[in-house]
Structures are given as C-alpha cells and as structure tokens.
Amino acid sequence: MQNTYIARQAILDYKSNTVGYELLFRDSPNNYFPEIDQDMATSKLIIQSHLQGDINTISMGKLSFINFTEHCLINKYPLMFNKDSIVIELVGQKKPTTRLIKIIKYYYDKGYKIALTEYDVEDHWDVLLPFLTMIKVDIEKINPKRLHPIKVKTKALAVKLVAEKVETKYQLQSLAEIGFDYFQGYFYHQPEIIKGQALTPIKNHMLHLMSETFNTPLDFNAVSAIIGQDVNLTIGLLKMVNNVSTGARVEITSLKQATAYLGEAKLKQFVSILALSQLASDTTDEVSKQALITAKLMVSLASESAVFKEIKDFAFITGLLSSIEVILSMPIADIMKSMPLAKPIENALVDHTGLLGDLLMLTTNYIIGNGNNIAELIKQFSLDAQFIQQEFVAASQWCKDLDLY
C-alpha cells in the first residue's frame, strides 16, 4: 500500500484560540491528498488505516478541517467520520451545479459542518449559503474589501468568514476589523521583532532554567533551587511527578527529591517544557504546542536515522526552542545571548545550518505541510515516510497528554 502523509495547520480566532486544524493529506511529501479513481473499498481502507484512528490525536481534540472533492462527497467519504469532529471543506469547484447543491444539502441535513473554499465573490455561490458553516477566503487572491456584499448575507445566516494565508499580526488586526471570524496562515510563526528589547526578569529566569537542565552532568541542586523560586514551576514539577508515577502514591518531601524521582532524562525534558509553558502567553499557546511536537518528533527521527546519531542529544532542546523568538517577540540571536547553548544548537536555531539544522527543517516542514525539499531530506537521511507519520501522531498524543495549556 502506498504511504500517506498527514500535516496540519491551525485555524484560530482573533484571540488566538485554536478552533481546529486543516489536515493536509499527501501521497508523497510534495502533493496533496490525491483524487484517485479507485473503488470505494480501497479508498475507505486508505482513509481508515491512516487517519480514522488518529484524527482526534492529530487535531488535539479540536475540529478537523478536511478537503473533499465532489467525487469524494458523492462516494460518502465524510460519513466515515463523526459529524462533530470534522468540517467538510469543499474543494475543486468553480461554480455550484445542481448535483453539488443536492449533495451539500444531504450532508447539511445529517448535521455536518461545511466550509466553502476557493470562494471568488461570485453571486452564484449564494445558493449554498443556507447550508454552509464557513466560507474560506484566500486573501492573496481576493481583496477583503470586496466582501462587503457577502458579509451582510453571511451575518444573517451565521456563516463565519475564514481568512487564509494570513502572514502578519497587522493583517490579522485589519481582517478582524473587516469582519473575518477565523484566521489561517503563518502569522503566528512570524516574529514581531522589537529592536533592543530586553528580557524581563521572569523570562530570563525561565531561559536560565532551560539552559541549566541541559547541562551535563545535571546539577539537581541547581535545578531544584531555580524551580523553588517560582510557585507555578513548583506546582508543575509536582504534577509531572504525579503523571509519571505508577502504582503506589509517591510522597514528595522536597523539590530535590521530586527532581531525583523523575530521573535525569525525564527531568531534562519536563522541566524545560514547564519553563516553555511559563514563557508562553494566551497568544502563543499554539506556537508552544507546535514546539513541543517538533521537539518530540526530532528525537524520534534522530533515534531512527544513524546519520543523526551524533546530534541526537541536542534534538529535543532544539525543537523546543524552535519557536522561541515568536514566543518572546525577540530576534533569536538576541535570545541566544541569554542561553549559552552548544554551537550546533545555536547554528540550527539561528541559521538552520548543520546536521541539526537539516533535522529541524525536515521536522518543521513536515508538521506544517510544506513539501519543499522534504522528499530529498527523507531519502538523504534514510528515513521511512510511514515511520515519520506514526511518530508525528505519537508526538501529538504526547503533547496532548501533557495537559499544560
């Protein structure tokens, strides 16, 4: 059976709360989910084998936005999914046909949420409005100011407007003023650089903790002392101990005991995760989740490929810090001044160079569905595409189980 690939991109409201994820399906690292002329049984097997059991994990319990062509709708592929877990994204249509209207009404009557994509501001789409939950607008193709006539209609029918390809927070603010409800794009990946900004004491404290946990050998006294200066970190550490303990209840009498109970490997990961959660704000929670998944997936890939053996120990911290400039709204080079890290980590984060930089690029591009150079990197580092998908799902589940946000 042909390998399939799953990537995702978050859809957020104006306050950066995650509404759901658009899932991007591939039959290779460079293509979207294929329109294949296979019989229903084969198509059903592909979807069920590679998605059905994992959809809630990949989408972190949020809505999954899934692209369906008219052909897929006619063959009733959406019925394989719980109506409350997905949004049907209609793709590949230039204008509605009588058959399309009938099939859209069919899913509407069954309670499915439906989003119209590739919207071009033409009046012929109005016939579908009573059955839609959302309309997605590519703001690179459509000037949002042209949407005034449709806004009146969508507001009356409670149809939400989703802006696609939002690149900056300025765009986000402008689009919200125009009347968009939800936003999708790379805007939360784009750092707003504030020249000369200094770290606040609490943020510097968190970065110090992250740096300390990746020293070798680990100084348990130093780590517990830093944690003891912050009540939220203390609570978080005790929660982590409870999460990893099995069997009898563990009675913790000191922070040093708690750190020792976790052990060096878990402590290095969990304490740095706690520090990251303290650095994140309401507007960067999604970025933090992405960093956690990146870190976990990088470790899995580094463990699988012999090529990455020499940088395996650096994989987790590199992935965890991959979005730190967005979280802190500071240039990564300035942040590095507060975090004396090994040269391979610094090169990977600042310039995406070196073997560690290749691993970071492969992992982040895979997660967000950017197909550029992924196929070449997978081949170069002797990785199996199916393995990457499985580990991506596992990393998403791990992030969800942390329950930090």
33 lies in some domain:
yes
CATH number at residue 24: 3.20.20.450
For residue 50, what pLDDT band results from cuts at 50, 70 and 90? Answer: very low
**Segment of 181-185, 254-258, 375-379 carrying the highest mean pLDDT:** 181-185
Give yes or no: residues 241 and 328 share one domain: yes
The mean of the pLDDT values for the chain is 77
Give yes or no: residues 177 and 210 share one domain: no
Segment 57-60 long-range contacts (CB within 8 Å, at least 24 positions apart):
57/393, 57/396, 57/397, 57/400, 58/6, 58/8, 58/21, 58/23, 58/392, 58/393, 58/396, 59/8, 59/20, 59/21, 59/23, 59/85, 60/18, 60/21, 60/289, 60/396, 60/399, 60/400
Give yes or no: residues 337 and 218 share one domain: yes
The answer to pTM > 0.85 is no
Position 119, amino acid: Y
Give yes or no: residues 238 and 89 share one domain: no
- List pLDDT tens digits, range 226-236: 777 776 677 77
Give yes or no: residues 252 and 339 share one domain: yes
Give yes or no: residues 162 and 282 share one domain: no
- pLDDT top residue among 299 and 147: 299
Give yes or no: residues 125 and 226 share one domain: no
Give yes or no: residues 158 and 285 share one domain: no
196 lies in some domain:
no
Domain that holds residue 335: 201-402
Q: Which of 167, 189, 211 is the last residue of a domain?
A: 189
pLDDT at 31: 38
Q: Which of 142, 159, 189 is the last residue of a domain?
A: 189
29 lies in some domain:
yes
194 lies in some domain:
no
Give yes or no: residues 315 and 184 share one domain: no
> How many structural domains compose the chain?
2
- pLDDT top residue among 70 and 199: 70
Give yes or no: residues 117 and 81 share one domain: yes
- List pLDDT tens digits, range 330-369: 777 777 776 767 889 889 998 889 999 999 999 988 887 7
**Segment of 24-28, 80-84, 171-175, 294-298 carrying the highest mean pLDDT:** 294-298
Give yes or no: residues 157 and 268 share one domain: no
pLDDT at 242: 66
195 lies in some domain:
no
Give yes or no: residues 151 and 276 share one domain: no
Question: Is pLDDT of 5 > 60?
Answer: no
Q: Which of 149, 169, 189 is the last residue of a domain?
A: 189
